[in-house]
């Protein structure tokens, strides 16, 4: 799985892991922070949340255009510095008045712009590693590994946010509203780690930073593309961009309506063995077991197989011990559910790669556009599960009134959300790393930065539409809320299949 990949992949992936850890630590609690610190309603919080996500994913278009002119590596470095100052401003407790609100918006703008310079251009550099014919056949698997690294950072983020807030409240005596700033400060530390990794291992990928004139291979590729071929490629990419808008609109409900569901409807405590999924180290042990099993079967040496077997045994022993200690109860905080998606990504990436590797060996691996269409169908299934889980529940406004009156029940099992995040992750693995790989492969060489930025613009529009979840969250039934997202994902998949011949022609 990890063999025969360019060395620069791992350095770039680790640099991105640090940045994503900080970002997802902030995102895990941001929507709740808006309500508790500023007293904003779910609808207004949803608009701010969606607008921020929209900027985070729209500005890579600007970053890509700048990088096509000034170099990808230069923009990545500047982006990290700008993000750092944004998170630093967000970490300062300014209260809840007008100054605090203005400071928060200024911080969000800095974070958005810095991310715009960093995120897309780092991924272009990853794609450039696979322009080398020696690695070209491993492009999809390389982006799967890169995407897995992103989610390693995201896996620990919710736990980090919750635990540092508890520490600030119980040990330092800060109020619950002020403790959010400690979670935001984590992002500052993670960015320092990210830039340190980037420059420590820069020699492994400096040749793809694009700071010099385009190399000969890229120049030849540009000459071989006719205007008609360039148009066909850009058209295919725009069609894909249009479809993935609705995936991200639905998927990123994990930080909004699905978090509201966790906060307002889901059981607040777990007891006994049911506490185990909420300990991130148990999830890490499962990941070790998955990767150990793959190493046992794939390792070429007896020593490698033996080490893998020991890792599996140690992880199983750890889980066994945790099982014997699972006798009390734990509080279930709404943000903690966001650890399950990155956990599933990290755990299932080798499974996904093995499946597609086996299909590729038989000449039956679906092309990236078809994988994206399948991903949309899977996302629709996830929201159908939420429809089933919400039967008999009050509307959000009715539940909110019951909570304020102290008469609310929290009837939904946490396993509904745990299961839905599993299904959404299957869809994500079909769509996101494959989509990024598709863009890096199909984009005309002189427009690489712009086209990768286009992928994020589609994500940005989807994130702007995330606010629909907050707008719907009120007097409508939960069934209606989830049905909207299920229908949009399914219709997008049907559109994708209708355009499939055109898309696969350039894939």
Q: Are residues 370 and 277 in the same domain?
A: no
Cα separation of 187 and 160, whole Å? 10
Q: Is 9 exposed, middle or buried (0-12, 13-18, 19+ CB in 10 A)?
A: buried
Phi-psi region of 392 (alpha: psi -120 to 50; beta: other; left: phi over 0): left
Q: Are residues 201 and 286 in the same domain?
A: no
* Within a domain: 347: yes
Q: What was the pLDDT predicted at 220?
A: 46
* Within a domain: 22: yes
CATH number at residue 425: 1.20.1250.20
* Within a domain: 507: no
Q: Are residues 100 and 198 in the same domain?
A: yes
Spell 298-307 as b/e; 16+ CB within 10 A means b. Answer: eeeeeeebee
Q: State the average pLDDT over residues 453-458.
A: 87
Domain boundary among 308, 331, 354: 331
SS3 of residue 265 by DSSP: coil
Average pLDDT, the chain: 88
Q: What is the pLDDT of residues 206-263, one digit of tens each?
A: 988 876 444 444 444 444 678 888 888 999 999 999 988 999 899 989 878 999 999 9
Q: Are residues 274 and 263 in the same domain?
A: no
List Cα–Cα distances, 163 to 159, 196, 336, in angstroms: 6, 25, 10
Q: Are residues 129 and 21 in the same domain?
A: yes
Domain boundary among 331, 363, 379: 331
Instruction: For the chain, give the percent of residues with pLDDT over 70.
Output: 96
* Within a domain: 220: no
Phi-psi region of 174 (alpha: psi -120 to 50; beta: other; left: phi over 0): beta
Q: What is the pLDDT of residues 102-124, one digit of tens each?
A: 999 999 999 999 999 998 889 88
Q: Are residues 68 and 136 in the same domain?
A: yes
* Within a domain: 287: yes
| Domain assignment of residue 315, given as a range | 269-331
- Enter the pTM of the model: 0.80
Phi-psi region of 506 (alpha: psi -120 to 50; beta: other; left: phi over 0): alpha
Q: State the average pLDDT over residues 153-178.
A: 85
In the chain, how many domains are there?
A: 2
Cα separation of 411 and 409, whole Å? 6
Higher local confidence (pLDDT), 4 or 124: 124
Spell 43-78 as b/e; 16+ CB within 10 A means b. Answer: eebbbbbbbbbbbbbbbbbbbbebbbeebbbbbbbb
Cα separation of 126 and 142, whole Å? 8
Cα separation of 36 and 42, whole Å? 11
Q: Are residues 256 and 391 in the same domain?
A: yes
Cα separation of 85 and 373, whole Å? 39
* Within a domain: 302: yes
Cα separation of 193 and 186, whole Å? 11
Q: Which range scores top for mean pLDDT: 176-185, 280-289, 357-366, 465-474?
A: 280-289
Cβ neighbours of residue 80 closer than 8 Å, sequence gap 6 or more: 19, 114, 118, 191, 194, 195, 198
Q: Are residues 382 and 478 in the same domain?
A: yes
* Within a domain: 221: no
Q: Are residues 291 and 167 in the same domain?
A: no
Q: Are residues 25 and 172 in the same domain?
A: yes
* Within a domain: 53: yes
Q: What is the pLDDT of residues 341-357, one digit of tens each?
A: 889 998 998 888 888 88
Helix axes of 139-170 and 280-298: crossing angle, nearest 10 degrees: 160
Q: Are residues 372 and 283 in the same domain?
A: no
Q: Are residues 352 and 421 in the same domain?
A: yes
């Amino acid at each position: 799985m990890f063999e025969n990949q360019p060395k620069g992949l791992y350095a770039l992936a680790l640099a991105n892991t640090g940045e994503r850890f900080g970002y997802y630590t902030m995102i895990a609690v941001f929507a709740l922070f808006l309500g508790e610190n500023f007293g904003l309603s779910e609808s207004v919080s949803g608009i701010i949340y969606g607008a921020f996500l929209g900027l985070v994913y729209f500005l890579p278009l600007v970053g890509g255009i700048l990088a096509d002119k000034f170099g990808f590596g230069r923009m990545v470095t500047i982006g990290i510095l700008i993000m750092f100052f944004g998170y630093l401003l967000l970490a300062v407790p300014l209260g809840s008045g007008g100054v605090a609100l203005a400071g928060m918006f200024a911080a969000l703008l800095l974070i958005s712009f810095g991310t715009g310079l960093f995120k897309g251009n780092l991924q272009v550099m990853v794609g450039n590693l696979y322009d080398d014919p020696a690695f070209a056949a491993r492009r999809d698997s390389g982006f799967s590994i890169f995407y897995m690294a992103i989610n390693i950072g995201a896996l620990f983020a919710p736990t980090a946010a919750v635990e540092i807030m508890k520490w600030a409240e119980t040990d330092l005596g800060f109020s619950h509203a002020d403790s959010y700033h400690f979670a935001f400060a984590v992002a500052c530390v993670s960015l320092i780690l990210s830039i340190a990794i980037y420059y420590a291992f820069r020699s492994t990928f400096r040749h793809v930073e694009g700071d010099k004139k385009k190399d000969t291979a890229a120049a030849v590729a540009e000459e071989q593309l006719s205007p008609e071929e360039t148009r066909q490629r850009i058209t295919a990419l725009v069609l894909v961009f249009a479809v993935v808008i609705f995936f991200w609109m639905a998927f990123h409900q994990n930080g909004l309506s699905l978090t509201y569901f966790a906060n307002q409807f889901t059981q607040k405590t777990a007891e006994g063995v049911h506490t185990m999924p909420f300990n991130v180290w148990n999830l890490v042990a499962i990941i070790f077991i998955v990767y150990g099993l793959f190493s046992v079967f794939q390792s070429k040496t007896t020593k490698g197989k033996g080490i893998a077997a020991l890792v599996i045994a140690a992880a199983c022993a750890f889980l066994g011990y945790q099982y014997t200690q699972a006798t009390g109860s734990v509080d279930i905080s709404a943000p903690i559910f966001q650890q399950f998606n990155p956990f599933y990504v990290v755990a299932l990436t080798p499974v996904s790669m093995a499946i597609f590797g086996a299909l590729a060996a038989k000449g039956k691996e679906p092309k990236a556009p078809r994988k994206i269409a399948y991903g949309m169908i899977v996302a629709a299934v996830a929201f159908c599960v939420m429809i089933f889980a919400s039967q008999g529940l009050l509307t959000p406004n009715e539940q909110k009134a019951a909570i304020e009156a102290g008469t609310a029940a929290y009837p939904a099992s946490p396993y509904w959300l745990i299961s839905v995040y599993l299904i959404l992750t299957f869809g994500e693995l079909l769509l996101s790393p494959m989509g990024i790989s598709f863009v890096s492969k199909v984009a005309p060489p002189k427009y690489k930065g712009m086209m990768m930025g286009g992928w994020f613009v589609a994500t940005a529009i989807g994130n702007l539409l995330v606010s629909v979840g907050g707008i719907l969250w009120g007097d409508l039934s939960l069934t209606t809320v989830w049905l909207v997202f299920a229908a949009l994902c399914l219709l997008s998949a049907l559109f994708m299949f209708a355009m499939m011949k055109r898309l696969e022609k350039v894939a």
